[in-house]
């Protein structure tokens, strides 16, 4: 006698690194509406919506840590996320974060898919999903490609921190690849030098949608003990909680004075 197929329970669904796009759309729209703006979301990929959601969580971190947050570069009153490395940065929106430090007002931008110069070679670039840079330091050139195509980037010296977003269940190679990117962009982080200087910034982080297993939990613990980084799992279910004021002390931070 054939067995009757069992319906998926809510518990079984949460083990997947995927989430309903409508839930993401609601969360993202609600976040942008808070700043009295609307949002353009043309993507049909869950991975893009997860990336937008993580971008918003980063902005929330800075809000929770006393930064003033404003939207910049709206297009006809709408926020336009940059969900691909392609395109010129000036065609997309971003957040400006501002913090007073003594008599200084320090300003940074939270940028999306901006090419970043290697700390080893000025002619080599990679694209972190989300980055925090010094205000006004995004540049556009036609000298990178052989066909005079425009290319947006930031110098390594103007990069403050960055974040990689992965819509997967975590696995060892994914995590160790992130360490390679940290080495390329912020090699000093591998000395585990989390400073107490202000203003604070969130340390370079790997943000993963899916749930870890025993092995990836061990890898996270080992790497976070060695380096000033964050490895975040299960952000579909725990993203808001992970970035709440109550839990922000669990996140590794870094900081440096900006002259």
- For 105-139, the pLDDT digits (tens) are 999 999 999 999 999 999 999 999 999 999 999 99
Residues 6 or more apart whose Cβ sits within 8 Å of residue 10: none
Residue with tokens 């061990």: 218
Is 158 in contact with 109 (CB distance < 8 Å)?
Answer: no
Which of the four pLDDT bands, split at 50, 70 and 90, describes residue 50? very high
* pLDDT: which is higher, 56 or 101: 56
Angle between helices 172-185 and 214-226 (to 10 degrees): 20
- Check pLDDT > 60 for residue 259: no
* Highest mean predicted confidence (pLDDT) among 8-22, 174-188, 245-259: 174-188
Residue 130, helix vs strand vs coil:
strand
Among 206, 114, 133, smallest CA distance to 164 is for 206
Residue 114, helix vs strand vs coil:
coil
| Average pLDDT for the chain | 87
- Check pLDDT > 80 for residue 190: yes
- Check pLDDT > 70 for residue 4: no
What pLDDT is stored for residue 13 in this prediction?
A: 43
* pLDDT: which is higher, 151 or 19: 151
Per-residue tokens: 104: 């200084």
What pLDDT is stored for residue 101 in this prediction?
A: 84
What pLDDT is stored for residue 193 in this prediction?
A: 54
- Check pLDDT > 50 for residue 173: yes
């Amino acid at each position: 006698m054939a067995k009757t197929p069992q319906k998926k329970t809510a518990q079984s669904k949460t083990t997947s690194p995927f989430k309903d796009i409508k839930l993401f759309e609601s969360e993202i729209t609600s976040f942008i509406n808070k700043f009295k703006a609307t949002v353009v979301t043309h993507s049909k990929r869950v991975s893009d919506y997860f990336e937008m959601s993580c971008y918003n969580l980063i902005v929330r971190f800075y809000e929770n840590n006393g930064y003033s947050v404003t939207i910049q570069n709206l297009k006809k009153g709408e926020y336009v996320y940059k969900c691909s490395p392609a395109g010129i940065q000036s065609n997309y929106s971003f957040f400006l974060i501002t913090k007073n430090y003594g008599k200084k007002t320090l300003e940074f931008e939270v940028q999306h898919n901006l090419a970043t110069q290697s700390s080893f070679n000025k002619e080599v670039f990679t694209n972190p999903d989300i980055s925090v840079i010094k205000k006004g330091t995004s540049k556009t050139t036609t000298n990178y490609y052989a066909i005079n195509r425009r290319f947006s980037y930031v110098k390594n010296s103007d990069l403050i921190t960055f974040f990689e977003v992965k819509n997967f269940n975590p696995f060892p190679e994914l995590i160790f690849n992130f360490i390679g990117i940290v080495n390329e962009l912020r090699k000093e982080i591998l000395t585990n030098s989390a400073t107490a200087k202000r203003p604070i910034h969130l340390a370079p982080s790997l943000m993963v949608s899916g749930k870890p297993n025993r092995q990836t939990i061990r890898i996270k613990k080992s790497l976070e003990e060695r380096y000033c980084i964050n490895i975040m799992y299960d952000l579909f279910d725990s993203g808001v909680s992970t970035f709440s004021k109550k839990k922000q002390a669990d996140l590794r931070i870094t900081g440096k004075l900006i002259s």
